[in-house]
Structure 1
C-alpha cells in the first residue's frame, strides 16, 4: 500500500516529486480548533511557475498517449484508492467537519468517478462520422495544461470530477486545493498521480490570490476549472481574458424549493427536504436556501420542519451518532452567526433547534444548531444571501406565478426543486424556473455522476454534459476529405 497522509502534509507535488516547503500554515479540526490536523504548504510564485513548466513538458507526451492505457491506469488507481477509503474517512472528517456517513460517501464517489469516466472515455473518444456532401469526422484532442481550483466545502468530489476527466482526455493538471482542508484530497491524488507519468498531476497550495493570478495569466494554461464563490469567479474571468483561457466554473447558489398545495409532506418527504437544507451543515452550493410554501400548508410545513430540526444531532462528525458536524472555518462561522443576529434584530422570527451532542466542548469548535427563519420578506437579506450554513427562511405564496417570480428573484440559478404530487405541474413550473437543474420532490444531486448541468446567471459557466465532463476538457475538430 502506498503511504499517503501524513506524507503530503506541508508539501507540494511538482513533476512527480513531493517538495517539502519551509513556509506552511496549520490545518485545524473545526470540531476542536485547538487540534492541528496537519500543515498546508504556502507555495511561492516560483514554485507555481515550476509546476506549470512541469505540466507543459509532460503534456507533450501524455497528450499522445493511448486512451486504453489512460483508462487502464485510472482503473488501477481506483482499485488502490478503494483499499484505503476506510482509513481515510477520519482524516476528511477531522479537517472538513463532515459527519462520518457523508465523508465516506464522498470518498466512494471519487472511486466511482474514476471508473465511470474511464469507461465513458473508451466509448466517447471514438470519432463521430457524418456523411453527406463530403465525409467528415468529428475527432477529439486534449486542450492542454489545465488548472483545477477547488473549495473547502466538498473538496473530494468537486476535485475528482475535474481532475479525472482532464487527465483521461490527455491533459496535464495543476491542482490547487483549498488551504482549509487539503490533506485528504492530496493523499488521494498522491495515489492517483503514482499511476501516471511525472508531471501529469501537479499540486500547489497556498494563497488563492497569488496562485490564481499566475495560473490565469500564463498562456500555457489553456483551461481553468474553478469551483467557488461568484466573486472569485468574476475575478478569474477578468484575469484570464488576456489569453482567452477556456473556463469551466461552478459558482454560488441560492436554491429555492417550492412546496405546492398538494405536496406530500409525510415523514420521508420532510426528511428529504431537511437533508436538502442541512447536508454538510448547509455548506453546499446546491443546498436548499429558500423555501416557498403555499399559504394553506405554511403552518404545517414550518411545524414539521421544526420538529425535524429538533432531531438533528450536532457535534464532532467523528462520532457515529452525529448527523451534522460543525461549520468548516471561523470566517464562515462568523458570517452565518452575524447574519442570523442581523435577521433577528430586524424583527424576524428565528427558531433554533437540535441537540448538542457534547455541551461541555461546544465552544471548542465551530458548532451551530440549525435555524428556521419566518416572518421575513422576499427582499430580506436572509432570503437574498447565500447563507452557506444551517439556516433556512420559509415564506408563503398564494399563486403559482408568485412562487415562480420569487424563486427567480435571485442573481443565482444553480438548482431548484418543485414539491407536488402532480408531475405535469412540476414540469410546467420547472420550465419556468431559472436553474440549471430542477428536482421533483427531492433536492439532491444526480445519482449518475456522469451527468452535469451548469448553473444559470451567476451560478456558473460551462455546458451540460452527459459524459462525465470529458467534453469540457477536450477540443473537437472536424476532419474532412
Structure 2
C-alpha cells in the first residue's frame, strides 16, 4: 500500500519535468465583458489552483497557482443585467429583432474566433479541472460541432416556418421568438461543453445572456470573451463574476430574469427559483443531481457489463451527472462481476492530464478526497469492503478508484451522489430491489440494464421508462449523441436538452395572423415582397 501511495505521489513532478508544450503561464484576468466592452477590474480576485500538484522543497505537494479572476460584487452583476435588459429592450433590440440569417452569421463569426483559441482553452481544461489532454481536445471539438449542429437545426426550423398556414378563414405565419434575458450557469466537470449547450441555443434564438462561469473552470472562458465581444452586438453577452451566493440571488430577486439555465445541484436551483418574485414568469432549463444505477442480471454478459460499467462509472473520474453511480448485481453473478470489475479498475492508468493513455487524473475539488474517504469509511463501518487492492489510496489531489462491496441501503454510498471515483456495488436477489431503489430515489435521470434475456429486458424497460428519462440496454449511461433528448425526472432535470429541444426551450411559438381577405393578402404580399419584416417573411435559408 505504501509503495503504491509513493508511486502516486511520484507522478506529481517538478515543473521542469512537465512537457514544454503542456506548461501553462499564469493568467491574471483583470477584466470582464459587459455591454460590449472589456471593463477593467481592480478589486478582489480569486486565486485558481490546479489539481496538478507540484512537489515543494520539503517534499510536500502543493497545488500550482495558475492564475486569478475577478470576484465582482452585486453592483457589477446589476450592471451586467441592465446591459442585457437594454440590449433586449423589451423585444425591440437589435438582437431579438434581427433576422435568423443575421443571428446565424454572428454565431458563425463567433465559432471562427473561438477556434483560434483552441490550444489555450484545451490547456486550461487540463490545468483547471484535471481533464486528460485527449478528453480536453474532445470537449473543445465537440463544442464546436454542437454549435454547428445548432446552426443547422435552426436553419431547418426556420425553413419549416417560412410558409403561411391557413385555417378557418385565417392566414398566419408561425415562428419562434425569444424569451428575454437568460441567466446561464454551467458546471465544472464540462465547463465549456455543457455551459455552451444552454448558452449557444439561448443566444441564437435572440435572447440576451448573463453568463456566470463555474467555480472550477473559470479561467478557460477568459480567452473567449473577445470572441463574444466581437461577434455579437453590445449587451447581448455579459459576464457575471463573483461568488454565486453573493451575485445571483439579487439578480433573481429583481424578477427581470426570464430564463434560468442552470447545471448543478437541485438545492441551488430550488433556492434560485424561490428568489424570483413571479415564478410563473420564469422558465427554467435545469440539469441537476443524478444517481444513475446499473442493473446486472444473472443473464448478463459479465465481460460486457464490466466494460460498460467501468466506462460509465469512471470516465473523467466519475465526475459526470450521467455517470453510473451505483451498480446492482444479481447474487448469482456478483462474485464473478466484482472480481472482473476490480481487476479492470486496477488496470486503469493513473497520471497527469498529458500522460499518454491516462485514464485517471487528479480531482479539481480540494475537499473531494476527504469526502470520498468519509463515505468509504461509512460503508466499511456497515460491513462493506474495498475489494480492489489499491482502492481509495490517496495522494494529494489524486484518489485511486474504490470498488465497495456489498453496499446496502443503510450506507451513505447507497443514497448520496458521490461524484467521484468510488463504485458502490449492491447484491440483489429479487429484481424488485433495484426497482424499489429507483422508485424511492429522489433522482430519475438514467439507468443501464445488462441482460441478454429479451423477456427479462422487456419486463424492465416498461417500468423504468416511467421512472427515468433514458434506459440504456447493455450500454453505459451517457448524454450523447446531442441529437437525442437529454432530461430527467424528479430532482434530476427540468426541461429537455438536445440540439433541437434546446432551441425550443429558449424560445416561444409566436404567430402573426389575420383574416384571409383581399385587403390582408395585398398587405402581407407587400410586406413580404419588400422584405420589410424579419418575422413575416418567406426567405428560405439554405
TM-score after normalising by structure 1: 0.91
Quote the RMSD (CA, aligned, Å): 2.4
Contact 2:312 2:478 in 1 (8 A): no
Instruction: Say yes or no: does 1:124 pair with 2:124.
Output: no
Which of residues 299, 303, 324 in structure 2 aligns to 1:288?
Answer: 324
Comparing 189-198 and 318-327, the one that deviates more: 189-198
CA distance in structure 2 between the partners assigned to 1:6 and 1:58 by the alignment: 34
Aligned to 1:113: 146
**What is the aligned partner in structure 1 of residue 186 from structure 2?**
150
Alignment-derived partner of residue 29 in structure 1? 50
Q: Does structure 1 residue 373 correspond to structure 2 residue 373?
A: no
Q: CA deviation at 1:346?
A: 2.7
Q: Which of 156, 177, 183 pairs up with 2:213?
A: 177
Q: Which of 261, 278, 287 is equivalent to 2:314?
A: 278
Q: Which moved more, 1:424-433 or 1:435-444?
A: 424-433
Structure 2 CA distance for partners of 1:39 and 1:174, relative to 1, 3 Å: same
Q: Where does residue 19 of structure 1 map in the other structure?
A: 39
CA contact (8 A) 1:90 1:318 kept: no
In 1, the alpha carbon distance for the partners of 2:164 and 2:323 equals 41
- Distance in 1, matches of 2:174 and 2:40, equals 45
Is 1:205 equivalent to 2:225 in the alignment?
A: no
Please report how far the alpha carbon of residue 319 of structure 1 lies from its aligned counterpart in structure 2 after TM superposition.
2.1
Relative to 1, partners in 2 of residues 1:124 and 1:296: Cα closer, same or farther, differing over 3 Å? Answer: same
1:379–1:290: structure 2 CA closer, same or farther, 3 Å change rule? same
Distance 1:419 1:186, change over 3 A: farther
Give, in whole Å, the separation in 2 of the partners of 1:440 and 1:129: 43
Query: Aligned partners of 2:501, 2:70: CA distance in 1, in Å?
Result: 31
Kindly state the Cα deviation for residue 366 of structure 1 after the two structures are TM-superposed: 1.1
Higher-Rg member (1/2) = 2
Partner Cα separation in structure 1 for residue 134 and residue 47 of structure 2: 26
User: Pairwise mapping of residues 32-431 of structure 1 onto structure 2 (< 5 A)?
Assistant: 32=53, 33-59=62-88, 60-125=93-158, 126-127=160-161, 131-135=166-170, 136-242=172-278, 244-266=281-303, 269-353=305-389, 363=395, 365-422=396-453, 425-431=456-462
Structure 1 residues not aligned, in runs of 5+: none
For the 8 Å contact 2:26–2:65, the answer to whether it is kept is no
| Whole-angstrom CA distance in 2 between matches of 1:104 and 1:387 | 26
Conserved in 2, the CA contact under 8 Å of 1:27 and 1:37? yes
The 10-residue stretch of structure 1 (445-454 or 53-62) with the greater mean CA deviation from structure 2: 445-454
Give the 3 Å change call, closer, same or farther, for CA 407–379 of structure 1 in structure 2: farther
CA distance in 2, matches of 1:256, 1:279: 15
TM superposition outliers: structure 1 runs of 4+ over 6 Å: 5-8
Partners of 1:48 and 1:211 within 8 A in 2 = yes
Instruction: Say which SS state the counterpart of residue 321 (structure 2) adopts.
Output: coil
Q: CA deviation at 1:354?
A: 5.5
d(CA) in 1 for partners of 2:356, 2:497: 37
Deviations, residues 240-268 of structure 1 (Å, cap 9, x unaligned): 253532111111011001112221222x5
Q: Could you tell me how far apart the structure 2 residues matched to 1:372 and 1:452 are? A: 31
Provide closer, same or farther for how the CA distance between residues 158 and 298 of structure 1 changes in structure 2, counting only shifts above 3 A: same
Per-residue Cα deviation, 1:417-467 (whole angstroms, up to 9, x for no partner): 111224564354233121121212112434331333321011111146560
Q: 1:189 to 1:260 in 2, by over 3 A?
A: farther
> Please, which runs of 5 or more residues in structure 2 have no aligned partner?
1-24, 54-61, 515-542
State the number of aligned residues: 472
TM-score by length of structure 2 reads 0.82
Specify the SS of the correspondent of 2:480. coil
**Which secondary structure state, in structure 1, belongs to the residue aligned with residue 113 of structure 2?**
helix
| Contact 2:292–2:323 under 8 Å retained in 1 | yes
